[in-house]
Amino acid sequence: DVKVTQSSRYLVKRTGEKVFLECVQDMDHENMFWYRQDPGLGLRLIYFSYDVKMKEKGDIPEGYSVSREKKERFSLILESASTNQTSMYLCASSGAASYNEQFFGPGTRLTVL
């Protein structure tokens, strides 16, 4: 059974804090993705990675960075959290081809106070 796990379901942080969101997949997938979901805006891609140590910016990378040191793990980092980063964050993974479906984690609801 395929699995994508995220380190926290709910997280509350203060403005200016450094925040780490971790994602682990057990399917040996090449691609991993970080999205945020906001009401009325759908799923927006923050960053993705197609290989270890490789990353590409998505549509809204500002204020975020990522790390992929191992194939199964993809971390999203908020260097200095701001209130406008309060959102639902979803991690996903997939095989390399464009026709490979993405498998999503359960999401992390982040609130920045």
Q: Tokens 């200095």 label which residue?
A: 80
Nearer to other proteins, 33 or 74 (CB): 33
Nearer to other proteins, 49 or 75 (CB): 49
Measure the CA–CA gap between 66 and 48, rounded to whole angstroms: 8
| List of residues 6+ apart from 84 with CB closer than 8 A | none
| Least separation in angstroms between CB 50 and other proteins | 5
DSSP-derived 3-state class of residue 85 = helix
| Least separation in angstroms between CB 4 and other proteins | 8
- The amino acid present at 18, given as its one-letter code, is K
The radius of gyration of the chain from alpha carbons, rounded to an integer in Å, stands at: 13
Nearer to other proteins, 59 or 79 (CB): 59
| Least separation in angstroms between CB 83 and other proteins | 23
Nearer to other proteins, 105 or 112 (CB): 105
| Least separation in angstroms between CB 16 and other proteins | 30
Q: Which residues bind other proteins (CB under 8 A)?
A: 4, 31, 33, 35, 40-45, 48, 50, 56, 58-59, 90, 92, 96, 98-107
Q: Torsion-angle region of residue 62: left (phi > 0), alpha (psi -120 to 50) or beta? A: beta
